[in-house]
Amino acid sequence: MTKAPRAVRLDQSGQEEIVGEGTIRRGDVAILPESEPIDAIVPAAAPAARRGFSWGSLFVAGLSGFLALAAGVWVENTISALMSQNPMLGYAALVCAAVAALALLVMLARVLRDILRERKVEALRERATLALAGGTPDEGRAIAEELVGLYKSRTQTAQGRAALQEALPQLFAARDMLTVAERSLLVPLDEMAQAQIAQAARRVSLVTAVSPRALVDVVFVLVACARLLRSIAGIYAGRPGTLGLLRLARQVMNHLVLTGGIAAGDAVIQQLVGQGLAARLSAKLGEGVINGMLTARIGLAALEVCRPLPFVEAKPPTLAEVAGDLASWRADKASGS
C-alpha cells in the first residue's frame, strides 16, 4: 500500500518551486510525492571511534621490554658462568634455555592466533550489523561465506554449512542471507551455549548454597565463571588461551556495564519468581540463587560477545530461560527441609 503525500515544514520560507523530481516547495512547506515517504530515509551509521594514545599501553610495553632484556642478560650471565666452571653444565644450560625459548615462542604464537581469531569474530559481527542496516547482497554473501569458512573444520556444522551454501544462490538480500546463516549455523551453537550456561548456574547455586565459607564461594564462582567463558568461546570461535580468556573477561565486563546487567539480588529473584517466593528463601539459599543468576548473566553476556553474528531472526536468550528455575527449585528444597 502506497502512502499519501506528506507536507513537511522547512526552516526557510520562499516561493513555490520544484526542488526535486516530483517534490514541490511552496513557501515553507515541502510536498513529497508518494514514492518518497519520509520513513524510508535511513540515517547513516556513526563512524566507530578510534582509540587514541594510551599511557597504560606504553607502560606495559616498556615494562615488558625491560623484563625481557633483564631475563636475557641473566640467562647469558648464567650460561657464561657455567661455561667457565664446567663446559658440560654450560651446554646443558644452553640446551635448557633453547627449549624454554622454543616453548615460549609456541605459546606466544598460540596467544597471537587466539587474539587474531577473536578480532576476526568481532569484525565479522560489526560487518554483519552494518549489513543488516542496509548492506548490499554482495556484502551479505561475503559475510555468510566467511562464516562458513570459520566453521569448516567442525563436523557438527557440516549439514548447516551445506544447507547455507545451497541456499545462498537463491537469495538476493543481505538480511535474508544472514537470516539463513544464523538459522543454519548459529542456532544449534546457541542451544549448546545456553545448556552450558544453565548447567554452570545450577552448579554454582548448589555449591554456594551448601558451602560453609564465603572464601570458598568466591573462589568457586570465579573458577566456574572462567570455565564458562572458555566453554562459550570454544563453542563459537575456538577455545582461548590465558591471555585470550583475560581479554574476553574484560569484554564481558564492559558489556555488562554498558547493558546494566551487573545489578542482581532480590529484585532479580522477584522479577523471575515473585516477591512471595523470594521471601521464603533462606539467607544461604538466597545467596546460592543470586550467585547462580550472576553466573548465568555473565554467561549470557559472553554469548553475545562471542557470537559472530548479531541476533537477526532468533531471539536473544533471557535470564529467565537459562536460570529461571533456580529460585523455585531452591524454594522447594527449603520448604521440604
Distances (CA, A) of 316 to 209, 254, 304: 29, 18, 8
Q: Is the pLDDT of residue 16 over 60?
A: no
Say what the pLDDT of residue 244 is: 66
**Tens-digit pLDDT profile for residues 145-156:** 988 888 888 888
Determine the Cα–Cα distance for residues 38 and 4; give it in Å rounded to an integer.
11
Determine the Cα–Cα distance for residues 295 and 298; give it in Å rounded to an integer.
5
Q: Which helix (H) or strand (E) holds 24?
A: strand 23-26
**Tens-digit pLDDT profile for residues 198-212:** 888 888 888 877 777
**Tens-digit pLDDT profile for residues 222-269:** 888 888 888 888 888 766 666 667 777 777 777 666 655 544 444 455
Say what the pLDDT of residue 242 is: 64
Listing DSSP states for 199-245 in one string gives: HHHHHHHHHHHH-S-HHHHHHHHHHHHHHHHHHHHHHHT----HHHH
Give the largest CA-CA distance in the chain.
Answer: 101
Say what the pLDDT of residue 263 is: 47
